[in-house]
Structure formats: structure tokens, C-alpha cells
Chains A and B, each alone.
Chain A
Amino acid sequence: MSASAPLPDSASSIPYAVEMRGIVKRFPGVLANDHVDFDLRPGEVHALLGENGAGKSTLMNILSGLYRPDAGLIRVNGRPVHFNSPRDAIAAGLGMVHQHFMLVPTQTVTENIILGLSEPRFFLPLDQLDQRVLALQEQYGLRVDPKARIWQLSVGEQQRVEILKMLYRGANVLIMDEPTAVLTPQEVEELFHTLRAMVARGHSVIFISHKLDEVLKISNRITVLRQGRVAASGIPAHEATKAQLAQLMVGREVVFTVRKKPVQPGEVVLSVEDVCAENDRGLPALRHFSIQVRAGEIVGIAGVAGNGQSELAQVITGLRRCSCGRVVIAGEDIANRPPRAAIERHVAHIPEDRHGVGSSPGLSLAENLIMKSHRRPPISNGWVLNLPMIRRQAAQLKDEYNIIAPSVEVQARLLSGGNLQKAILAREISAGPRLIIAVQPTRGLDVGAIETVQNLLLKEREHGAAILLISEELEELLTLSDRIVGMYEGRHMGELNAEEATLAAIGLMMAGTPQGKPATR
């Protein structure tokens, strides 16, 4: 409790907004929280940092009433509380925005906001409610059309609806679990604007993120968890440095530079030629897009989310139909062939949606690790699965890729977000791919894991794999890519070599101004 923190209150007479003492939470095989102390002052943004699987989500799930602690005490505004459910937590003024939104896609914003409330009881005076929602938006700078239906909204807008939902329920403390992982830089700015407005009105915020720059920018104090324990408690953000935080999280020094060896690119492995495709809503997502990736090179795609990058990855891997053009992999056109065609040509795919596409939540970690390889020996011999082999291989990958889980038999849905991502990476990269389609490969990973994954991708490049990297992290694109292609509204906005690429030039391409070399076919 350093009194030097630049806080609206440093007087000790005002009780903490939230105080957690000695919280213990044990899951089968893991001690997720080991006597964790955490406190939140009124009117502050308190960041919670930690490695993947350190127990951040667990701690916040306890605070939001989803889990019950095995031991420990929670006080809200100085009064002890016992939550049996999220309802209790909301009643006490604590609202959590999960990384996975819980909205009904076919209903409007207002309908989603009032969903589950007992008032109004019978009739929905929707216009009146819309007005109330608008008034809330006004106060906090959360713009979103109350009459819009959820499926029409971008991810950032959906997140605003989640925040509005909590504010509407009278939440005084907002808990946000990795809110920025899915946002564009512009949307992050808007979120921060909102958070500042909330703090100004006396709310407090708990903010989980793996992005240290953001944490340093938005938070007043920082608490770091490591392996379920507090590694640093409430250090003032203005005294912290990135390197120090990284070291606290991982327990070793993290070098923020990744070394890229020169590699002479080989033959063309992937050639996307003149491809058109539609998105889920039937609107054009790719408009005559072309790109080539050669063995031993990383080609990065820069673009604001929703400009066709996801669709491009899906067309290449056979998950989406294209209405024109060719997708040539190692000399063979596989456009509109089933996904298996790409798999058989050793195309690895790290999908954007790790819960919905990249993994099967109800199956075990081991079973998730054999997706795709389950057809071939040694995983299966003819009809029969080789269970000992599956277990052995899973244990090996778990060690090699540092996937933190109590055993390889746990259901994938119980893995922490970052560890699930590591499992997907382990599966895809260990298959020895010729082409890797990596979409946001480091999203949700801690700094240590990011370094590992980036080095893994570079190693694959040295081994001659062709890599298409789709990322919204410009830093990542710049460090890893040999060439960077801009993408805007499904069109090719030109190509820059790694040496000539600057943040400014990439920004222009992302905004729709062609730069560098035009697309070649």
C-alpha cells in the first residue's frame, strides 16, 4: 500500500472498493489460487498480470461469483460478502465482462441489456428503455445503436454492449478479462476513453491483459500473479517498467527482441490467385485478392480486423468457398476442395477462433492434440486408436510446449486461454507443416509464451516452411515478416519488404492507400 500512488484517495479512512484476502482455489490437480491477496481502491484501474495459467481468470471468477473460494475472505466497501452466484456479485456492484461474450445474436442491443432482469415484468416499453440505454452511453462514451441486432455488430461494439449491460445493472466495479485481445487499436483507444470516464465517475476497474504497454498506459496499480501466488502486489504503474513486469510474471528475464536469421526463400508453396469470397453475411470479403508465399519466408498480412483476413485464411484451408480464383498449394489448385485437401498437403492452420474452431471443448487435451493426425499411424492403426501412443505423445507435447494443465486427460475447456492456444500451436507445428496459416498466433499469450511462439515460427521458417502470418500486432508483423502485404476491404494494398516497411507506410495501406509493390501473380 504505497501512499505515493497518484490516486483520487490515498486516505486510509476510505474503505477499499474490493478487498480479497487469502483466497485459495484448488481444482483437481492444480492450485489455481494460493492465498492470494488483492485489493482495489475506489476510482482506480488495477491491472492483473501473470503468465498463462497463473490464476487470473480464476481469481476474477471468484470475485464475480462464478466460483466459490476454498478459503479466503472478500470484502466489498469494507463489508464481508459471500457470493453464491454472479447475481449476488452484481447485486453487490461487481460486474464481469468475460472474454467470451454472452449475448443473444438475434436480439437488439437493448433487449440484450435488459435480458434476465426482473423488471420490467410484463410489457417492454422498448422506446423508453432505448432512451435509458442511450443516456448511459452518453455518460460513458459507449457508442452503439440500441436498436441494432447483435449479429450486426463488430466485436468491439459487442464488448460495449457487455459493458453497458453491467452498468445498467448498477455495477460499480467492472472486471474485464483480457478485453483488448480482440480489439483493433482504434477500439482499444475507445475502450480506454470509456474506462477513464468510468473512473472519473467513481467506478473502479480490474483489468487483465498480457499487453504490457496497455497496462502501463491505463492502470494506476499493478498486481502480478505467478503460479497462483502473488508475485508483486499493487505496484504503482508509473514506477513500473515493461522489463520488470515481464520478469515478475515469468520469473526470468524476457528479451523483447527476436533474432531473425537470413533465409534464402525457395520455391512458391502457396499461390492465391485472384480470389473472391463472401463473408458470413453474404457480403464480398475478398475481391480479386492475390498473394504468394515461398518456402522459408514469412509473409505478413496487415489490415484492420474485418477486412477479409479471416476469410482469406478460411479459403486457403478449405473452410470457406471462393467464388472465383485459384488457391495453388505446391503446384496444385485446391480451391473449393474440402478442408482435408489442405491438411493432406501439410498445411497447418492456427485459427483465429480457438474455442469455436481450433479446439473441441468437451474432449480431453490429448484428444485435442490428435485432431488431424488421428487418421495416420502411429496415432491410429487402421481402425483402432493407439491410446498409449496418444497419451505418450500428448505428454511429450505438453512438456515441450509448456502447456500448463493438471493432466492430458482434462477437458480442453478447462485450460486457461493461453494454454489452449499453446495446445493448438503444439498440434499444428509439431505436424511438420510445409505451409503455416497463422492467424493471431500470439493472441492471449503471456510475454514469455509470445517469445517462444515467435521463435518457433522463425525456426519453422528456417526449416523451409512457408508462413502466412495474419496479425493485428504491427510489432509482431514487423519483427517476423520478410514481406508485408496490406489488406483493405478484401483488396491487396501493396507489398513492402521488411527493410522498407515502416509503421506509417503500413498504417496507410491499412487505411486503403496502396503502398510499395502492387500484387503480382
Chain B
Amino acid sequence: MTGQEMSANPVGGQGWQFPFSISIEPRLTVPKWLPALISVGSLGVAFVIGGIVLAVAGGNPLAIYAHLIRAAFGDIGVFNDTLVKASPLMLVGLACALAFRMKLWNIGAEGQFFLGAWGASAVVLAPILPRDTPAILMIPTMMLAGVACGALWGLIPGFLKAKFNVNEIITTLMMNYIAVSWVLFWVFGEWSESGFQMSPMFPRNAWLPRLTDYAAQIPQFAGLTLHAGILFGLIVSVVVWFITSRSRWGYEIRLIGDNKEAARYAGVDIARNTMLLMMVSGGIAGLAGMAEIAGVVHRLQGAISNNYGFTGIIIAWLAKLNPFAVILVSVLFGGLIQAGREIQPSGVPRMLQGIILFCVIAGDVLLRYRIQITRR
């Protein structure tokens, strides 16, 4: 019955003793600043680990990081590209952050993103509106269609969860694959442009306005492809903040997320809220798909997502579900994706993403536990 302390000495030899003892205890209170500190700290640790891996592989980590930063934030041109990548990430990250508030693990933002892209494309390609519809009507219709399709894709697992208590992690994950196949089915078949696995280019009135479109008025904008999708992200982040911390519905979401039994006791309809929240979350991810299609790709094809849906999960987590932090973290991850396209080998930013996710999850342990190292 001895050896109560977790010893850092693995064999527990009698003679020499490791001079420190480590104890791990559950944390009772979490200071307000700690989550932010841990997020930043996990990032730092991730870059250090990444650096070690790079050094072992024979590279110079500092040089590589400097190069990464230049490739993502170095000049207005690449920064523009970083923000273009960040735009869908913001929306997807917000979609995840909102659902996670209720401890609803929506892993299906990727699929909802694809369905949103598909729905927006259908407006142009089906076509639902004639090709020469003015942008002022075309764009809102595409937004609506994208949101509706994403919401539907979220509602299905939401319904299964609410009515039959089917685990949403599995259903949302599975539905990602269906969504991708569904889009491929259309770009290979009905909407294929003369046999290529992509749809024809959308007419200009189905494009989201970009900075470069205003180059005639403001010459500095020339070549900047940043599109209105980033505004969607910024607006939705305010909306999500308002929902979670100022609205009645957000209160119910937080109540369910914190204590389901208490929510039931307070008369909150958990099934209804589950479906509603999955719809809203899916709708936001769907809007991301629409913005990507109408703002960047301008046609429907198989490769429209740089794993945005999955990256959104990491972003939401790293941002500790704070909608404004989601914006910042998205820019960082947009930079990583951007740098990955610029530099060789492009595997480095991907590896970094993986390490960041790992460190963020590991860092969460520090939120719940206090680790103490004391001298013997």
C-alpha cells in the first residue's frame, strides 16, 4: 500500500531517487486567463516539436519557419491568399464552435460544406435561376440554397440523435463521405463540362465580389482575390457570439451543454434544440461551401476543400469555442495552408497542423488537471 506518489523514476529502484516528484491532481477552479494561455502555449510547443522534427530531418527549423511566415504573411499578395484560405475556415470553425457549446460533436462540417457548395451550384447549374439573373438576386439565392443544403445535411444526424439517440460523431463523420460522393456524382455526370470532372465556369453574376473587381477605382486592389466571403465570416462570428452569450436560445444551449438533466428539469426541449442546433451549425458550414464556390473556385468540382471541415474542428478547439478567437485562429491556419502551397516540401505545414491538434488536445489536460513538480 505504499508508493502513493507517481514517481518519475520508472523502475522504483531503492538507491538513487529521481530528485523531483510529479503529482497530477484535478483542478478545482480555472482562472479566466488560463484557457487563452494554454492555447497560445500549445501552439508554441507545437512549433518547438515541429522544429525538432525538422532538425532531425536535416533542415534548419528557424530558416524554415521564417520561410513559412514569409510565404503566408510576407507581403500583401500572399497575405491576401492567406485571408482567402481563412475565409471558409472562419465559417466552418464557427459552425463547430456553436455545436460544441452544447457538447454536440458535429464532425460533419466537411460534408455540410460540400452540400452547401452543391446547393449553391445547383442554382446556377440546374439551373434554378436563368444564367443572366442579376447578381443582386443570384448571390442571395445561392447563399440561401447553400445554407439550406448544409442545414439539411446537419439536420439528418441531428434528427437521428434527437429521436433515436444515435451517436452524432459517427453519423456526421459518415455523412462526410456521402456528401463528397454526391458532389462527385454530379460533376462526373449531369453537370460535367464536356466529360471533364468539373462543371462549367459560373457566369460573372454568380461570383462573389472581390477586391480586384474594384481595381478600376482603387488601383492598389489589383490582383487581390479576397472576396466577400470573409465578411460572412466576420458577420457570423458576431451572430454566433450574440446567440451564445446574449440570447435565450444560447442560454438553453449552454445549459444543455453544462448539465443535461438540469436542462430537462428547466423544461428545455433537448430533442428540439439538438435538431435546431445541428441545422444552424450545418447551415453555417454550408455557407462556407457556397462562399468558396462563388468566391474562389467559380465552378463545382471534386477538390474544393483543403480539409476545411476537419480543420474547423481544430480551430474551434484552439479558440476555446470563442467566436472572435475563431477568426484569429482561422487566419493562422489560413497562413499554414497558404504556406503549404508556396514551399516545398508542402508536407511541413500539414505536419504542423497535426502536431498543433495533438498539442491542443494534450494542452486541455492542463485545464482540467494541475501538474506539480516538487523537489524531494
Contacts and interface: CB of A to CB of B under 8 A. Distances in A.
Nearest to A114: B1
B251 A385 contact: yes
A371 B254 CA distance: 12
B255 interface: yes
A55 interface: no
A85 B25 contact: yes
B374 interface: yes
Contact of A84 (B267, B269, B372): B372
A361 B249 CA distance: 19
Interface of B: 1-5, 23, 25, 28-29, 246-252, 254-255, 258-259, 261-267, 269, 372, 374
A359 B259 contact: yes
A362 B269 contact: no
15 contacts: A67-B28, A84-B25, A91-B4, A317-B265, A319-B265, A339-B264, A340-B267, A359-B262, A360-B263, A362-B259, A367-B254, A374-B248, A375-B267, A383-B249, A384-B248
A69 to B, nearest CB: 14
Given A118-B4, A383-B249, A339 B265 contact: yes
A340 B273 CA distance: 14
Nearest to B255: A360
B246 A87 contact: no
Contacts of A380: 248
A363 B258 contact: yes
B12 to A, nearest CB: 9
Nearest to A314: B265
A414 interface: yes
A104 B263 CA distance: 24
Interface stretch (A223-231, A349-357, A500-508, A513-521): A349-357
B251 A367 contact: yes
B92 to A, nearest CB: 25
Interface of A: 66-67, 84-88, 90-91, 117-119, 168-170, 317, 319, 338-340, 342-344, 349, 351, 353, 356-363, 367, 370-372, 374-375, 380, 382-385, 387, 414
B317 to A, nearest CB: 17
Contacts of A344: 267
A206 B5 CA distance: 25
Contacts of A168: 1
Given A87-B4, A119-B3, A359-B262, A343 B267 contact: yes
Contacts of B259: 356, 359-362
Contact of A360 (B247, B250, B258, B372): B258
B264 A383 contact: no
B246 A385 contact: yes
Contacts of A375: 248, 267
B23 A84 contact: yes
A371 B250 CA distance: 13
B212 to A, nearest CB: 39
Nearest to A342: B267
B265 A338 contact: no
A343 B265 CA distance: 9
Contacts of A317: 265
Given A117-B1, A340-B269, A371-B255, 13 more contacts: A66-B25, A88-B23, A342-B267, A343-B266, A358-B262, A360-B263, A363-B254, A370-B251, A371-B265, A375-B267, A382-B248, A385-B250, A387-B246
B267 A372 contact: yes
Nearest to A117: B1
Contacts of B269: 338, 340
Contacts, number: 101
A90 B3 CA distance: 11
Contacts of A385: 246-248, 250-251
A209 B132 CA distance: 79
B258 A349 contact: no
A67 B370 CA distance: 12
Nearest to A91: B4
A85 B23 contact: yes
Nearest to A67: B28
A417 to B, nearest CB: 15
B247 A383 contact: yes
B258 A361 contact: yes
A342 B23 CA distance: 49
Contact of A85 (B250, B254, B372): B372
Given A117-B1, A384-B248, A319 B262 contact: no
B8 to A, nearest CB: 14
A379 to B, nearest CB: 8
A359 B258 CA distance: 10
Contacts of A414: 29
Contacts of B255: 360, 363, 367, 371
A414 B31 CA distance: 13
Given A363-B255, A372-B267, A384 B372 contact: no
Contact of B265 (A84, A91, A358, A374): A358
B138 to A, nearest CB: 30
Given A85-B25, A90-B4, A375-B248, A360 B262 contact: yes
Contacts of B372: 84-85
A106 B55 CA distance: 48
Nearest to B243: A383
A169 B1 CA distance: 7
A91 B5 contact: yes
A509 B252 CA distance: 43
A93 to B, nearest CB: 11
A200 to B, nearest CB: 22
Contacts of A117: 1
B267 A338 contact: yes
Contacts of B263: 360
Contacts of B266: 339, 343, 371-372, 374
A360 B265 CA distance: 11
A181 to B, nearest CB: 20
Contacts of A343: 266-267
A371 B255 CA distance: 9
Contacts of B4: 87-88, 90-91, 118
A170 B263 CA distance: 41
A387 B3 CA distance: 52
A489 B254 CA distance: 38
A85 B21 CA distance: 12
Contacts of B248: 374-375, 380, 382-385
A387 B248 CA distance: 11
B266 to A, nearest CB: 4
Nearest to A118: B3
Q: Which 3 A-B pairs have the closest CB atoms?
A: A340-B267, A371-B266, A362-B258
